[in-house]
Structures are given as structure tokens and as C-alpha cells.
Structure 1
Amino acid sequence: MTLTPDSGTLTAPLRTAVIIGSSRDGRFAPVVGDWFLARAAADPDLDTTPIDLATTELPHTFGAPAPAVEAVGSVLAEADAFVVVTPEYNHSYPGTLKNFIDLHHSEWQAKPVGFVSYGGVSGGLRATEHLRTVFAELHAVTVRDTVSFHNPWQRRDDAGALIGDPAADTAAKTLLNQLVWWGETLRTARAARPYPG
């Protein structure tokens, strides 16, 4: 819980869904996701819930029955903010991630979305830029600053964890600060007045 300066009242931590956006065999997404989740866990303003698309059963046809869609939809609906961990595939983001995003609509509205990307020399930034336009269509607000890992595959310790660096830690802190600001602001706005989506 955090203290609000003007009112002196306590506000609940920001419920944040962290979406691990790759489901390919041999994927690197969980390594990057674990790195980010460790940093988010250290922030008392956040309460994170990971959603791993590799272990989430989703339909490939719209309208197909899928209890998992409803279960995950409930998590998204209750969330105040989102962070998407995405690789870059062919200058964009994975198809599994697009399918997941498109299975939901109102759950994203009037909430902030942050991005943690990885890839080759671009560090996944092209995937992030494509995702910004998708989330704009869904009435979400994307956070300006991101975390980006360029060629991270060899940056692992003996336990397999991602070896970060001061620049990545600073980027994560900036992203989280902006996510909290937008998340708390939009949560207050949604409580005061329903979003006209």
C-alpha cells in the first residue's frame, strides 16, 4: 500500500498483468520475463500476475469455446496495467500474441501498457512499435519508455538467468515509474467516470 500525498489515504498496489508473449519451442521469453518480474516484484506499488502464452490454452478461431479465454479475461479485466514481454519475429511481434490480444477488447480500455522487448540488433523495438498501434485501436495508453535487449541470448549466468546491466535496470525503473503514474491516474479516472469506449 502507498500513501497518497494530498489525501493521506492508502491506495492499493497497481494490479499488473505481465504477458509473456511467445509460445515457440526453445523460446527466450521466460528468461526475459523472469528478469523483468524480479524488478517489478521489488516495487511496492505493483502487484504482478504473469500470463504465459505458452501455457495458456487459447482458441485459433474466434467464437470457439474456451474456458481459458474467460479465465484469462477475468485477470485482464481486474488488472490496472499491463506489461508485454515480446520478441521480434520478422520485424514484428508473434502471431500468438496478436491472437491473444484480439480475443479481448474492453479489458484493455483506458489502461496503460508497457513493453519489454528483445531481438537481434534492433532489440525488438520494431515489435514494440507495431504493438503500439494495436493497443491504440483498443483504447489503451502505451507507456513511452521501454526496456529493450539486443542479442541477449548469450547473456545468461550459470543458472540460466538473464544478466542485466545498469542501463537495463535504469530502463526498467523508468518504465515502471511511468506505468505506475499512468496506472494510478487512469484507475482513479475510471472509478470517477466510466470510460466512453
Structure 2
Amino acid sequence: MTKIAIILGSTRPGRNGAAVADWVLDVAKQRSDAEFELVDLALYPLPLLDEALPPSLGQYQNAHTKAWASKIAEFDGFVFVTPEYNHSTTGALKNALDYLYAEWNNKAAGFVSYGSGGGTRAVEHLRLIASELQIATVRAQVALSLLTDFENYSDFKPGPHHQPAVEAMLDQVVSWSKALQPLRAGA
């Protein structure tokens, strides 16, 4: 069965992302074409990249890196849930991406973002990073506004019009993850 990680990319105390990631997981669990698991970066406390060798060599020295690599290697694809901080993604998510290389390769990814402008600039940056890591990003994405999808900027209340966008993004992530399987098998 195809396995997709829903990666919660914020570690900030009081973060809005936990409710967003739980919502995506609830939608995903209604499907039968893949297994979905929430991966919370807060449970993988990675210091600023502290490996001496480049991740592309795959010679990880630290226990926290090995645990992170083992978790990410389990999956065929990803849904990144990210806020937008200063026109980009979070430092925690960027750092987590930078730790690994082969574990990301030849897998698909979709994005669910949130912020005052829907978090779209965070996704633009993530697409560039994903490309370098050989992650195939899908076109469909979900952009949530702090102004209209959160009450008081903190209580997540997504509009029903977002449900089809989540479904479309998941359709693409699952199908692309399956299509990339031969590349992962040959690696």
C-alpha cells in the first residue's frame, strides 16, 4: 500500500498547523488508495543541521538524523502543511528537509499552506527546495487564509469549498507516488 506522510512543518508553541494537519489527515483517512500518517516535526527535534558530511552521501552520524531518515524512508509521498513566515516556509521545515537527501528522492509531494495570503509564498519556496531533493511536486494545492479560515486568527474553521481542493491534491499525490514507484525500486 502506498504510504503518504502528512508533515506538520511548524514547531511554534500555540501553532495553528496542528489543527490544519489534523483536518488534512481526517480527509485523507476517508480514502482507501493509500495509508496516511501524521509526522509532526515537533516530535523530531533536529538542531540546526549538525552533520559533518553532506546529506547526499547518506553517511549520517547523529542519532537524531538516523531516526529522521528512518521515518522519512518509510513513505512514498508527502503532504507538507506549512505556515508562511516572512514570505517563506518555517526554519524548522527547511532544516528538516536539509538533513536528508536519498530519503526524499523520487517521491511526490503536495502542499497545504496557511497565512494572511494563504501561505502561497511558502509553497513557492518549498517547490524550489523539493526540486533539488528530487521530489516531484503536484500542481493542486490548498491555500488557507488566516482571515477567512480561522476565527480570531487561531481557531481553524475551513470553508467547505476547501474540501474539493484537498481531495484533488491528495488524488495527485497518491497517483504520482504510485507512478514514481519504479524509480524508487531501481534506486
Same fold (TM over 0.5): yes
Counterpart for residue 40 of structure 1 = 28
Counterpart for residue 133 of structure 1 = 128
Counterpart for residue 98 of structure 1 = 94
Match of 1:82 among 74, 78, 82: 78
State the SS of the aligned residue for 2:25. helix
The one-letter code matched in structure 2 to 1:125 is: T
CA distance in 1, matches of 2:43, 2:88: 22
Match of 1:118 among 114, 119, 124: 114
Counterpart for residue 154 of structure 1 = 151
Q: Kindly provide the CA deviation profile for residues 8-53 of structure 1, in whole angstroms up to 9, marking residues without a partner as x.
A: xxxx2x1111110011121101010101010111111121121111
Q: TM-score, normalised by structure 1?
A: 0.83
**Are residue 144 (structure 1) and residue 136 (structure 2) matched?**
no
**Are residue 17 (structure 1) and residue 5 (structure 2) matched?**
yes
Counterpart for residue 4 of structure 1 = none
Aligned length: 177
Taking every aligned residue pair, what percent have the same amino acid on both sides?
40
- 1:49-88 aligned at under 5 Å gives the runs 49-63=37-51, 66-88=62-84
Q: Identify unmatched segments of 5+ residues in structure 2.
A: 53-60
CA distance in 2, matches of 1:129, 1:79: 23
CA distance in 2, matches of 1:93, 1:171: 20
CA distance in 1, matches of 2:32, 2:182: 18
Contact 1:82 1:113 in 2 (8 A): yes
CA distance in 1, matches of 2:152, 2:66: 37
Bigger Rg over Cα? 1
State the SS of the aligned residue for 2:139. coil
Q: Kindly provide the CA deviation profile for residues 31-84 of structure 1, in whole angstroms up to 9, marking residues without a partner as x.
A: 101010101111111211211112222122421754232122112112100110
CA distance in 1, matches of 2:71, 2:125: 24
Q: Identify unmatched segments of 5+ residues in structure 1.
A: 1-11
- 1:170-189 aligned at under 5 Å gives the runs 170-189=164-183
CA distance in 1, matches of 2:48, 2:16: 23
Runs of 4+ in 1 over 6 A off after TM superposition: none
In 2 relative to 1, CA 155–79 (structure 1 residues): closer, same or farther, beyond 3 Å?
Answer: farther
State the SS of the aligned residue for 2:97. helix
CA distance in 2, matches of 1:169, 1:80: 23
Counterpart for residue 5 of structure 1 = none
Contact 1:155 1:163 in 2 (8 A): no
Q: Kindly provide the CA deviation profile for residues 132-184 of structure 1, in whole angstroms up to 9, marking residues without a partner as x.
A: 0000011110011101101133189xxx6x33323210000000111111011
